[in-house]
A = this chain, B = another copy of it.
C-alpha cells in the first residue's frame, strides 16, 4: 500500500509509462524508494483499476506502443490524504555490504575491502548524477533563492537528502579502507 504513494509522487512530475517510471525510480527517487519494473507494472494495473490513475495509449512506429499514466482527481486527493497520515512508519534499510562489514573479522577482510571500494565508486557516480539533477532544478538560481521562491521544494529537499547520504558513503568508505589497509600493513610488516 506504500509503493503506490511513491508512484503517485513520481506522477506529480507528469504522465509516464511503466518503463519511464522504472528509470525514474532508478534515478531520482532511488535514494528513498526502490522498486523493480515488475512491481511497477503490477501496481500501475491496480491503481488504474481503482481509479487513481488513467492510462492513455500512445502508438509509436519503430517502437512498441506505450501506455502513459497520469493522476486522476482521485489520485491527487489520495496524495493529499497520504501526506496528512501520522506517523510515517520508520524507514527500513537493508544493506548487505554492512552485514559483511559487521562480520569482517570472522570472514575474508580482503573481499570485504573490495566491496567497500565498489561502494565508494558507486556513491561517487550517484553523487555526480544528483549534482547534475540539482543544477537542472536550480536553473541558474542560488539554493537560497530556490528554497524561498520556487513553487515546489519537495523534490529538491529529497534530492539534498540523497546527496548527503552518498557523500557520507564516500566519507565513511574511505575511512574504512584506510583502517583496513592500516591493519593489513601492521600484520605483514
Contacts and interface: CB of A to CB of B under 8 A. Distances in A.
Interface residues of A, number: 72
A87 interface: yes
A175 B148 contact: no
A48 interface: no
A91 B93 contact: yes
Task: State the oligomeric state as a number of copies.
Answer: 2
Contacts of A175: 160
Contact of A9 (B8, B103, B154, B161): B103
- Most chain B CB neighbours (cut-off 10 Å) among A83, A92, A152: A83
Contacts of A88: 95-97, 100, 115, 118-119
Given A2-B94, A34-B92, A93-B91, A29 B102 contact: yes
12 contacts: A5-B100, A33-B95, A34-B90, A79-B106, A83-B108, A84-B107, A85-B100, A87-B115, A91-B96, A92-B95, A105-B152, A160-B172
